Amino acid sequence: MRVVATAGHVDHGKSTLVRALTGMEPDRWAEERRRGMTIDLGFAWTTLPSGGTVAFVDVPGHERFVPNMLAGVGPVPAALIVVAADEGWMPQSAEHLAALDALGVSYGLLAVTRADLADPGPAMAQARAEIAATSLGAVEAVAVSGLTGAGLPELRAALDGLAARLPAPAGGPVRLWVDRSFTIRGSGTVVTGTLGAGRLRVGDELELAGTGEMLRVRGLQTLGAPAAEVTSVARVAVNLRGTARDRLTRGDALLSPGRFHGTEVLDVRVAGDPAAQLPGTLTLHVGSAAVPVRVRPLGTDTVRLRLARPLPLLIGDRALLRDPGRHHVAGGVTVLDVAPPPLVRRGAAAARAAVLAGLDGRADLAGELRRRLLARAADLTRMGVPVDVAPVAGDWLADPEHWRGLGVRLVEEVARHGREHPLEPGAPVEALRQRLALPDRALVEALVRPPLRLAGGRVTAAAVDALPAPVARAVQRIRAEYGHRPFQAPEADRLADLGLGPREIGAAVRAGVLLRLAENVVLLPDVLDDAVRVLAGLPQPFTLSAARQALDTTRRVAVPLLELLDRRGATRRMPDDARIVVG
């Protein structure tokens, strides 16, 4: 299916032309038929000569209903511009064309209607000149009469050619902008919209933008017939399970879960009125939504928009700004950033304008990481940025240069912490996270590379074995005093005399120059192998008393020493508390 929106001045024959092409009545309401003009959106479809199908979104032409017109045009990739031969180019012709240009619509046709009432040549020439100056460029033009049928075969052929030129439907997540919501007895709530990308299936769960509520697709209909599956681009009616009609209205959106982020602040590029001349408040039209926004100019053509309510927008989205009071399209916008940084420091706006000057609205992973330094993959996906690299930790992605710099800084911070706290067993991960201004401890842990090591929630340098001079001297005194009697341990008061408190002993143990058996029970570190040799010379099994005498030590040392040997598998304790040397 191809979807085309009509555009043009009120009473120029848009609905009559759609009716002649499709045999269907696009004006849905009795009031519309009574007044002879389209007030809301109408829908009809027909089969083209090639066998393909084109669906028309018939929009209102009266200036009072421009917001309704924009709701129909917003999600549609092509337009059929209608100009009456007997009236020519008119104000709403110009505003509709400005809207199409602002939205970046680049595929279209011109139909000059009522060719039976006037020479279509002048109206066609003026209309083609106006259209050529916009995103649509040069378009094919056909003179027709909805009343007599003249020109309709040529218009059908032109529509066939337009359909063949339209780009292939986009894949990706679903974002269905709701343009109508109503209730059908026996079915419940039904919404309609133009599916611009992705695929819908019966049974799918969709997220309601703004609330996060999950809604299940009970049924689908397209071109008036039920469907198990609908692919873009298509007009679709969605029957939703378990939600009241008043929960959804025009401008809401149904989304693939977890694929969009509702944003209230975005930075955009404006094509139209100069940014500095934009009013402080305008209306943003995107999809079928119309939301008041506050405008803050940043650069010559870039502004920050603060929305009255969040919308599910992506980088690269096209929308338009309109001044409803002046009935004026202020310009088209290209979304550059849906999660921009706050502007709080002096000069931040100018700096931000410089950054935005280099953006073109195309989602670029490398560029986003370069600007953001660190970002979660899920957050980037919800901005519309394709993620095709592996995270550095958890869900975190990093700019490669920034990540390398963080690794260098981590080594520096660990060394700094060691100088400031020489008796601590390394720098706490949380302290390093704060010093590096990282959002997650996992990032610190992922940065640890040799010569760094991570243990017990602390990071230390693997080669850092140097002790503060007082501790090193105290250990030397112990070695001098106890080197000839290795299984004797200094008493607590002797340790205190040497200046070895708990922190100093801990530092010496981590440096490998003391062996801690228990609190205030330390030996020189090379005694374990000697102890095993001595104990192996005893009759097996041996008792604690025999071990104490053979090692020439006290019970205070012998008990924890044997327990340590048990844990290391050098000795094994028997049921009667005797031990044997293993191996």
pTM: 0.75
Flag whether pLDDT at 39 surpasses 80. Answer: no
Out of 442, 464, 486, pick the residue that ends a domain. Answer: 464
pLDDT band at 37 (very low <50, low <70, confident <90, very high): very low
| pLDDT of 120 | 92
13 and 156: one domain?
Answer: yes
pLDDT band at 312 (very low <50, low <70, confident <90, very high): very high
| pLDDT of 41 | 52
How far is Cα 372 from Cα 398, in angstroms, rounded to an integer?
Answer: 8
Residue 357, class by beta-carbon neighbours within 10 Å (0-12 exposed, 13-18 middle, 19+ buried)?
middle
147 and 237: one domain?
Answer: no
How far is Cα 383 from Cα 315, in angstroms, rounded to an integer?
Answer: 6
581 or 234: which carries more pLDDT confidence? Answer: 581
How far is Cα 437 from Cα 445, in angstroms, rounded to an integer?
Answer: 14
Out of 297, 328, 362, pick the residue that ends a domain. Answer: 362
How far is Cα 467 from Cα 474, in angstroms, rounded to an integer?
Answer: 11
Q: Which amino acid is located at 385 in the chain? A: V
Query: Does residue 434 sit within a domain?
Result: yes
Query: Does residue 170 sit within a domain?
Result: no
Task: Give 212-256 as a 3 state SS string.
Answer: CCEEEEEEEEECCEEECEEECCEEEEEEEECCCHHHCCCCCEEEC
377 and 455: one domain?
Answer: yes
Give the single-character DSSP code of 399: -
Which CATH number is 576's domain given? 1.10.10.10
Task: Give me the number of domains the chain comprises.
Answer: 5
Mean pLDDT of the chain: 86
| Kind and range of the H or E run holding 44 | strand 42-47
| Kind and range of the H or E run holding 454 | strand 452-455
528 and 550: one domain?
Answer: yes
237 and 227: one domain?
Answer: yes
| pLDDT of 67 | 46
For the ranges 10-24, 62-76, 225-239, which has the lowest average pLDDT?
62-76
Flag whether pLDDT at 57 surpasses 80. Answer: no
| pLDDT of 234 | 81
7 and 104: one domain?
Answer: yes
Query: Six-digit token pair at 197?
Result: 């990308």
Query: Does residue 536 sit within a domain?
Result: yes
250 and 143: one domain?
Answer: no
Three-state DSSP class for residue 418: helix
The answer to whether residues 60 and 10 touch, using CB atoms and an 8 Å cutoff, is yes
246 and 328: one domain?
Answer: no
Query: Does residue 324 sit within a domain?
Result: yes
- With tokens 């902008």, the residue in question is 177
Mean pLDDT of 427-448: 95
10 and 149: one domain?
Answer: yes
Mean pLDDT of 176-194: 82
231 and 326: one domain?
Answer: no
The answer to whether residues 320 and 102 touch, using CB atoms and an 8 Å cutoff, is yes
| pLDDT of 324 | 85
The answer to whether residues 270 and 302 touch, using CB atoms and an 8 Å cutoff, is yes
134 and 15: one domain?
Answer: yes
Q: Largest alpha-carbon pair distance within the chain? A: 126
Query: Does residue 380 sit within a domain?
Result: yes
| pLDDT of 548 | 93
| pLDDT of 221 | 87
Flag whether pLDDT at 404 surpasses 90. Answer: yes
Which CATH number is 245's domain given? 2.40.30.10
Query: Six-digit token pair at 468?
Result: 């503060």
| pLDDT of 30 | 37
| pLDDT of 544 | 93
Query: Six-digit token pair at 57?
Result: 């979104």
The answer to whether residues 100 and 135 touch, using CB atoms and an 8 Å cutoff, is yes
Other Cβ atoms closer than 10 A to 305: 24
Closest CA to 76 of 241, 194, 208, 200: 194
pLDDT band at 70 (very low <50, low <70, confident <90, very high): low
How far is Cα 494 from Cα 116, in angstroms, rounded to an integer?
Answer: 117
Three-state DSSP class for residue 386: coil
Predicted confidence (pLDDT) per residue in 74-131, tens digit = 567 788 999 999 989 988 888 888 888 888 888 999 999 999 999 999 999 999 999 9
How far is Cα 489 from Cα 412, in angstroms, rounded to an integer?
Answer: 38
Which CATH number is 101's domain given? 3.40.50.300
Out of 464, 495, 521, pick the residue that ends a domain. Answer: 464
Q: How would you label 179-208 residue by residue, b for 16+ Cβ within 10 Å and e otherwise?
A: bbbeeeeeebbbbbbbbbbbbbebebebbb
| pLDDT of 62 | 35
For the ranges 237-246, 261-270, 436-445, which has the lowest average pLDDT?
237-246
- Size of the chain in residues: 583
The domain in which residue 179 lies consists of 175-255
How big is the CA angle at 242 (ends 240 and 243), to the nearest 5 degrees? 75
SS3 helix, strand, coil % of the chain, rounded to 5?
Answer: 35, 30, 40
399 and 423: one domain?
Answer: yes
Other Cβ atoms closer than 10 A to 110: 23
